[in-house]
Each structure stands twice: as structure tokens, then as C-alpha cells.
Chain A
Amino acid sequence: MSIISRLLPLIFSANFLNSVVRVSTPLILCAMAACIGKQANVQTITYEGMMLLAAFAGNLGTSYAKSLAGGIIIGLLASLAIALFYGFFNIYLDTYDTLLGIAVNNFVSFFTIFMLFVLIGRKSDSSTIPSFTYPIVNIPLINKIPIIGTIFTGQSLVTYIAIISVFVAHFIVYKSRLGLRIRSVGRSPEAAESLGIDVKKTKMIALVLSGLFAGIAGEYMSMANVSFFTKNMVSGRGFIGIAASNLALGRPLFGLLYALMFAVSQVLANQLQMLQLQYQFANMLPYIVTIIGLCITGSAELRKEKFGGKAKDDKKKAEKEVKTE
């Protein structure tokens, strides 16, 4: 009881909501990437790797190119490289997706450590080199409103990009010609092919789009609130983004909702830690929420299938009755 009574005031504070916005930014972007991938039925788990490589290349890029724009572009290119590599091997060379995903993620994880050591002689982080971060945006009028002010202004530019990205993803998937193609390829590749859509090419385009979103998500890790790269700094955020898109069945607006849910559980975990709950248990929370979420949507899908079957049976019964009459 005492924990709860101490937790409640922490939750209903502007600070809490502020951290939710911060934590949710990469999750939202990654969820959008995964939503587009899911719509095209590209079941990849490499968003984790894309984010990590983008975080690495973006941070070191700003330092080598000596400009923010250069770093952003290098980071995005790195993420795109992973997306294209995955697409080439999975779609054109017929490599088993889960396996390729694990290999690519592990490759990036070790490759970044390797290159970090080769380039700056440290294995843990890049805090010794100068780097640039995304600017912080202050919106003039809103920052004077008490609670909303602390939540919605003074965030990194990426946070606003993340909010816009939800609408962009929604527009791409549901309102554009490309989105129609992507969805048709995802639902039924044979039918799409019969209509003259190049299935492989469409999947690659979807992957490129996901790669861009995941790239920005990765750059947020090392170029926004934190200005350096640490090894394995993405630590499962890519997987949580995938889980969010799985729960949302690939719909971007719902993806946003689930990403926010995970962010809330992550911040809650941090708060619980401050209340002297063992940090290991507190940090389990987002992962447990993910598993429960997977179970709920999974069994909902099962039920849908069952009811779908039942409806067909009912129809058959009705037809039989008509015949017997």
C-alpha cells in the first residue's frame, strides 16, 4: 500500500508525462517502421539493428562531418543499408527471416563495438569525441501554459518528427497509391502479382520506408537527450516497437497508442526503482506488458478465426435449410 500511495503523486505530475514523451519518441518511430513492414508482410526483427547502427553512425557522423546535417544523413544511410541488405537477402536470396534477423542484429551489435574501438580506441562509449545533437524546440505561446508547457515544448526536434511520423505513416498506408500496393502485397501476394504489381519491388520500397523511420528512431538515441553512443544502447526498443505494431495489427494510429503504453510502463519502472524496488524487477515491467499484450492480441486473432469459421457454418446451415424447405 505504501508504495502505491507514494507512487500516485509521482504518476500525476508533469514530470512523469514529460518522461513518457521522451521515452516514447523512439518507440513511436520504430512502431511506425514496423507497421509499414507489417502491412507489406515483411516480418523482420532487424529494426533493432537498424536503430543501433543509425545511432552509431549518426553520432560518429556528426563528429567526422563536423555538422549536424552530415551526421543525420550518415545515420539514415546506415539504417537504409541494413534495410536494403535485409531485403536483398530475404526477398531476393530467399533467406529465412527470423534467422537473418538474429544474425543481422548480432552483427550490428558486435560490429559497432569493433568499429568504436578501431575509430576512437574505446569499447564502451563515444563520449570522448565532440558531437552535435538535434536542436530543442521551444514553441513560443504554449511554453507559458503550466502543465502542457512542460510536456509539449522544450522537447527534441525528433519528438515532433515522431508525432508527425504517425500521420505520415497513416497517410502512406491508407491514403496513398503506394500504400494500397503495400497492403495488397501484404494481404495476398498472388493477387497483387496478377494485377501487375511487382511484389518484390514493393516489399523493398516498404523496407526502405521502415528503414528511414527506424533510422530517425536510432538517431534519437545518440543525438538528442544523450549526445554520445554507448554499446548496445538500443537494448530491446526495436523489439518493443515490433511488439507494438503486432498488437496494433499494423495500423499506425493504434501503433502510437501501444507505443505510448510501453513508454508509460517503462517510466513507471524507472519510478518504481526510485521507490527502492529492486531495479531488475522494475525493469521487467515493459517486457512483461509486451508478452501479455501478445497473448491478448494473439488469442483475439484466434477467436476471430473461430468466429469466422462459425459464420461460414451458419451460412451453410442456412443454405441447407433453404434447400430442405
Chain B
Amino acid sequence: MVQLFTPYQLFCLALLAITAPFLSFILSLIFKKIAGALGILSIGISFISSLILFLGIWKKQTLHFAFHWIELGNVKIDVGILLNDLSVIMLLLISFIALLVHIYSVEYMRKDGLKYRYFAYLSLFCFAMLSVVIADNLFLLYAFWELVGFSSYLLIGFWFSKEKAVQANKKAFIMNRIGDVGFLIGLMVMLTQFHTLDLSALFGSENLISSSFVKNGIWVTPFNTLPSYWLTITGFCFFAGAMAKSAQFPLHTWLPDAMEGPTAVSSLIHAATMVAAGVFLLLRIAPLFNEVVLTTMVCIGLFTAFMAATIALTQKDIKKVLAFSTISQLGFMVVAVGVQDQAAAIFHLVTHAFFKCLLFLAAGIVIHELHHLKEKHQLDFDEQDLNNMGGLRKQLPITALVFLLAAMALSGLPFTSGYLSKDAILVSIFEWADLKGGVYWIFPLFISITSWLTTFYIFRVVFKVFFGEFRLPQLLSKSDLKIHEPSSWMRVPVVVLGVFCFGFFFAYNPFSLDSAWIYQGFIQQVHSEGFYHILVPLYINVLSLALIFLTYQAYANKKIIFNLEHTWFYQLSLNQWYFNDFYDVFLMKIVLFKASVFNWFDHNIIDGFIHFLTDLVIWLSKISDWLDKHAIDGLVNGAAALVKRIGIWLRGMQSGKLQHYFIWMLLLFLSFMLFKIIV
């Protein structure tokens, strides 16, 4: 195929794709009136550039442009752009999702007084995230990684007058810092071992990672040697960074709280940007991980997926359910990275981005419309509580339809994108367990349970929100409560995303993983066409369909009523496994106790010493002050007083009377004479 663009032009396009949102960030803060238009324009430019880049690079070439930046001894750090398959697919995904979210936000934030700031932050966020995926070395990646964290902090706390939002953004920031420390340590070890952080040098063809090896407990690289456990530590450090960003146990608690931000932001953070960054990092540096780290990754990923899915079962807040669903799905991706099926991880990342973004945006419509209702009728209810909804499919038909589509994709039903990507991960785990044997069969078991739980919780939301009776009029005993579909600013993005929930976009045959082009693009080893490929999707989906029927009976028809509210597992789930309480009670107590000890030490020992010193100085200065006043000044004043007295006395002679002068003269003369006579 003929190349339409030269590599240099592609490089310029990549630069354009990241600078457009950055310019929009700056200009939005200056030209406040047109901030929304600027945001959409800039992300549109990014999207078009990304599309051209994708067409020029996908499966064809890898481009790497770098300039010298820092040179410390024999360590060189470049600044540059690395465009390979992974970069361009992420670029395309991020810019596309961000474009839709921008358009959606125009309506969602229409009444907000600080709209310009919202769009500025959104642009900054996109800039950071786009830069993360095309950064060519780990150092640059780390810098933009931090910027992603910071801009998410700004966005989560966008409604900064809400106390909960402020708490949530602080929590997100601190949790991310914990992971970032790991990332930074990992960077240092890499720098020691390989003397470079360049991604293509480390992980590209003829890479440094494959030329290093572990022998006799020593990790040998062309530059340096370290004990082999450092390889494991490095892997864990990078994984810790990814864990914080991708909200994996035990650093997951920030993500549900991050729901305090505007819903459109939650959608962007959860679908394509922030949480994807963690998985993206794992994919970028996947060859680094050794067996121990990979197995840990599978354990943590699976535990996170399972835990989050159980929590999502009972949450009352629609956004909380979706938040835990995100954590759960990210767990799936981490598991996929852990079993070294990176193709499945990327594939699921992409498909998940579409349907999770759609779920959030559709939930945003419901919340937005209920909020309008609340303002219009001066009512008081929680517009995010599932118990206040119900039967909304009559009033929001399009939203209900796309939400249902996304829910189907999330539970991995046939014909949807989720069917392809989720089942790819499931199949990988089955094969992995088959390879390992024995105890490892617990992993496929739990991932299957998690998968069914996913179906259950998302259809619980679907039926509670869109089916059955609208509960709000009964609860508030008002009959004329009507809501309607929002304007097309909000409708168009969700419909576009809804279309992308179908499997046809990702594979021409929506039942066969082999025709999934994203999956095939990253596949590393050829899968044996085992019976898992048929069996796993079959048994997962059959049970899923049964579960959907069950949830329909339970939440739409009210034929089955669960009476579990007082059981321990219901409470465990409702209270999010008590992780927040655990952190509050134990970790916070320890930190606060330490802080109080240090406070005491500071107050009593350090301050005491300082106070003692100040007292000493004050006493010394008092003494010197006394000396100054009485000795020095006394001397000076005494001399002055003496002179004054002499002056006064001498002045007395100048009486102005002629005869007095005469007498003085006489006396002087006489005394002179006397003096002459005596001496």
C-alpha cells in the first residue's frame, strides 16, 4: 500500500495531536466564553490526527523520534515520540472517547458557572493522557503520568464547594502518590541496570531486556549486575504504580469516591484515560515481569475483580455500581496481562472503553434529567439513588436502549464487543490454568463467578432503572413527574457509543476471536484452537442468560424478593468489604498516632529547645540593653551633661555688661600674675 504521509509528517501530526489539547487548555483560561468550542475543536484535531496516524502506522511500521534532553554521566535521557501499534490504537481510542465526552459535556455542564474551567481541565487531562501513550521513554511517561494524576485531581474536585468532592480528590491524589513512589523506584532500578529509559531500546527489537538474564541468583544486564530479587522488586514497583492508577486492590478505594466529580468526567476517567493508563503501563513494560510478579498480578487482578463485583451487587448509587464495575473489569485486564495474553488485555481495554463510557454517559443522562426534575419541582431526593428510579424506559427510550446494549456488552453476551474481549480473557485463563494444573484451577473458577456476578449487578441496574414502575411519584406522592430525553448534544455521543458496542466493529465474525483485528494485531503466540474456545463462552453465556432472567424477575417483575439485608455477606458487600473502614481505623489511626507523637515531640522537645534558646537570647539582650542604657549611654550622657554645665557656667560670664567683662579680664590677669608668681 502506498504511504500517504512521510514519517516526518506523521511525527508532526503526533505533535499536533498532543499540543492541540494543551493549547486549548491555555486558551480556555483566557477566552472563557468559547472554552467549550475550543475544547471540542482541539480534541477533534487530535482525533483526526490520531486517525491519520493510525492508518499510517497500524501493522506497518514503528516510528521513533527523539531529541537529547538530559545527559548525566553515561546516562542519557531523551525526549521523544514512539509510535507503534499500541500507541496509535490508544491515541485513537482516547481521542475518540474524549471527543464524545466533550460534546456530551456541553449540555451536561451548560448551567455550571465555571464551565470554562471544566473544559480547560478536560483539555489538560486529554493532553496528559495522549502524551502518556506516545512518550518514548519511561521518564517522560512518568512525567505525564503525574500530570494525569494531577489533572484528575482537578476534575474529581471540580465541584470544590462540595466537601465530599474535596475529600475524594485528595484521596485519589494520595492513593496515586503511593503507587507513584513504586513507579519512581522502578525507574531508578531500570536506570541503574540498563543506563537508559528509552522504551524502544529496552523493549523493542534487539532489546536490552531480552539480552539480560538471571543466572545463579544474579540479574545480569550489559551494564550492571544486581541480585536477582531486584528483578522481582522492580516488577512489583511498576505494578504498584499501575495498581494505583488502575485502582487495583489494595489501592482501589479512591475510584468509587472519584464519582463525586461530574459524571462526564467519571466516564472519561473510567473508560479511556486514567484507569487505562495503569494497564497501558503494564502492557508497555510487559517483558520485564518475571514469573513471581506475573502470578501476583493474576492473584491481585482476580481478587480485585471478584471483590469489586461483589460490592457492585448491593450498591444503591448508580454511579457507585458503575465505579465498582470498572474496578472489576480492570481486574480482568490485569489478569490478562498476568497470564501473558496482552492481546486480550488491549482488546478488552478498547471494548471496555466504549461500553463503560456509554454506561456512564447514559447514567449521566438519567442523573441529569432527575436533577432537572428536582430543581423544577423543588423536591428533595437523591438523584443517583437506584431506589428513586424505575420504569424510565418509557420516558428515556433511547437512553434505555443504549444502556441495555452496553450492559449486554459488559456481561459479554453474543454479538457484542464484550463477548469477544471478555471471553478472550476467560479462555486465556482456562488455558493458563490447564498449563499449570492443580491449585491453579481456582482462578478460572473465580473468574467465571465474577463474570456471572457482573451480569447480575449490571442487569440489576438495568431493571431497577429502566423497567418496572417509576418509584419516585410514589415515594414523594406526586403524580405529574415527567422527564424527557435530553438535547442531541447528549444523545448523539451515547448513540455513537452504542453502535460501537456491537461486535461487528471489532471482528467481521462476532463469534470468532480469530477475526478480531485488534486481538490479532497484538497476538504473540498462536493459540491452540482448543475446546475452551467453544466451551467457555457457551457455559458462561448460558448461565448469564439464566441470571438475566432471574434479575428480571427480581427487579422488574418483583416476583422474587431477596431478603438478605441482614446477612453478613450483604453487609460486607454494602460496606465495600470494609476497606474504607479498615483504612480509616487502622492505617489512619497509626498515621494519626504517629503524627500526634511527632506533634508532641515537635511541641515539647524541639519547640522547648527553641523556646529555651529564645529565652536565653532575650535575657542576654536584656543585659546588653541595661549595659547600653546605663554604662554606654551613661558615659555619653555624662560627658554631654558635663559639657552642658560648663557651657552654662561659661555663659554666665557673657552677661553683656561692660563692667563685668572688665572684672573678668582683671581676674584673669590677676590669676595669670598669681600663677607666674607661684610657679
Asked if A and B are interacting partners, one says no
**Which residues of chain A have a CB within 8 Å of any CB of chain B?**
none
Interface residues of B (CB under 8 A from A): none
